[in-house]
Each structure stands twice: as C-alpha cells, then as structure tokens.
Structure 1
Amino acid sequence: MQNIPHSEEELLRLLADGDEHAFQVIFERHWDAVFSTALLLTKSGSVAEDVAQDVFTMLWEKRASLAGVGKLEGFLFVSARNIIYSRFRKLASQDAYRQYILSCFREDGVESAQEAAELRELDRTIQQAIRLLPPQQQKAFRLSRFEGMQHEEIAVTMGVSRITIKSYIVQAIASLRKAIANYPSGAHLLICAVFLLHS
C-alpha cells in the first residue's frame, strides 16, 4: 500500500486522479461527521446512513473535479444537506414513485413482456460490470446485495473493518451506476436499475 499524505489538499489531488487509497482515507476521516450531520437533520439512523453513503458515492463519481475544493468538510456538509433536501422534496410523490418502480416488474400484457426482456438484458450488463469490479469491492457488493448480509457481518467475513466495507460498497455502486449511465434501454428501466443499485 502506498504512503498516503495526510494533507487534505494532497488527498483531494490524489482523489481527483482516481486514487482509491486516498478515497478510503477521506472516507474514514469524514464518515462519522457526515453521518452525524445527516442524523441531526433527518432524526433517522437508517436515512442518515443512506444519505452518508450517497454523499461518498457522489464524492467518488465527481472526484475529477475535487482538486479545487477549498474545504472538504464544508463541501461534504453542503452535499449532505442538499441530498436531504432533495429527499424531502420527493416525499410527497413517494407512493407514486414506488408504484412506478414496481411497474417495471409487472408480468401481464405485451408491453411487460418486452420490458422483461429489456430488464434481463440490463441485468446482464450489470452482472458483467460487477465482474469487472476489483475483487474486494465485488465480494463486498455481492455479500451485501445478493446474500443480504449486513455490513458488520461482511466485515467479519472479509476480515476488514466495517467502514472499509462501506467504502468498498460505495465505490462499487459508483462504478455500476457509471456502467449503466448510457444504457440504450428505456428510461423507466434505468430508473429501476438505479433503484436496485441504491446505496
């Protein structure tokens, strides 16, 4: 493992270049603060954890533009707040949104047969992208999404810390979202896929 500098500026520069070790250092330094901020604003542990993972997924996805960030802590706080506000705005249409997602998997009618075929093709694309993940990320993601294991259980199984597992899963989700970003299928199926890849 390479020597990671402790300067925030250097870490952000390395992160902008795609350095996974720098990402993990930042993740471990700031996870608790981002989670605490989200918990304070949402009053829900499960929602706060989702928000924190969304923040770090965004951080990895937009890493190339982060070298110029002046204060990472402030950037993460604003990102968490914006994600929470966005979630609150969606609450009014939450039931409609869930029904929309469920409609992707309906089994009746000609249209649904076509959608089922498209969904199977999209699933093949996602499975291929999973196979291309680094081994540790792939294992953590599979144990989480396909085996239904909690982060604590995965950490014990893989012999690493819980926060390292969170980091692996966040990076895996970011990679998989990128893999389906330009998928030629209908927008509704992409929404289904992103829903399935929600952190």
Structure 2
Amino acid sequence: MSSLHTFDDSHLLSLLENSNANAFDVLYNRYWDRVLSLAYRKTGDLMEAENIVQDVFVSLWKRRKSLKITSDFSNYLFISVKYRTLKFLAKKASARSISLDLASDLLDNSTQEYLEFEEIRERLEILVDKLPEMGRLVYKMKSEDKSYKEIAAELNISEKAVDAHLLRARRKLRVELGSFLGCFFL
C-alpha cells in the first residue's frame, strides 16, 4: 500500500474500479481532511459534516465499477460534498420552516383560545353583575377564596345562608353561560 501513495488520482481511480481497497484508502486519506473542512464550514456541525463526507466516500466505493470521472478527482469530490451539504441544508431549512409553521399554528390557536376565554370571562363578569345583590356579594367573596365562615361574618348572615346564595348564583350563572357557550361554539 505504501507505494500507492505516490500514484496520482487517475491511476488510483482505475485501481479502485477493480475493487482495490488499498487505492480507496489512499484516496480517502488524501482527501478526508480537506472535504471535511469544506463540509464543516458550510454546515457548522462537525458530526453532520462527518456524515456528509462519509456518505460521499461510501457512495464512491459502492459505484466504483460504474463511476466515470472525466474531470479532476478532487473537483469531483468537492462538488459531491458541496451537493450533499446543500441537500442537508435544504432539508434542515425545510424542517425549520415546518417547525415555524407548526409554531405559528399553535400560536394562532392559543391566541384564538385566549380571545375566546376573554370573551367568556367578560360575559361571566356581566352575568355576575346582574345577580341579586346578596348572591353577587357572596359569589365575589367566594371567588376571592374566602371561607363560608368569613363570608357569613362579613355579611352578618349564617353559613347556611351563604351556601344557599352561592348555590343559587352558581345555578343561574351555569344556565346563562350554558346558553351563551352553546351559541358561542356553534
């Protein structure tokens, strides 16, 4: 194999065509660093650059019997690596575009859901304001996480009365919101 190092690329390619693995090794070792450097500069990802260069050399070995290189081998190799790099970058850009489209769709959906939530929240506030005074007070105080005991003490009513007012307020809101939501989601 040591004598093959002195051969030029065209002679090595003719040996490669006859499945000479040593000729392949010489070409591989002769160009690996340079084409890896090119792929790395273009991708910015060493692992991906190594994969690209490896794919080019694997393809070279697989097509060794039918390969007809009419120009300089180094040009052929650099063009092959550039092509595969461009293919990788296009695939990456496409994946990023799809990802951005999905993110955009999710944002659009979350924005729509937020607007719907805001509309429901505003409707709830209007309905709470329409409740009878005691029911409205009890409902708002309970919404502030006050206990039945605290509400009863503040309004000077029994805990049982707090429960009754809250039950009536919730029932009325459920009915009113139910009809609103039914129209809203149709």
Q: TM-score, normalised by structure 2?
A: 0.46
Answer 1 or 2: which has greater helix percent.
2
Q: Which has the higher contact order (CA 8 A, sep 6+)?
A: 1
Q: TM-score, normalised by structure 1?
A: 0.43
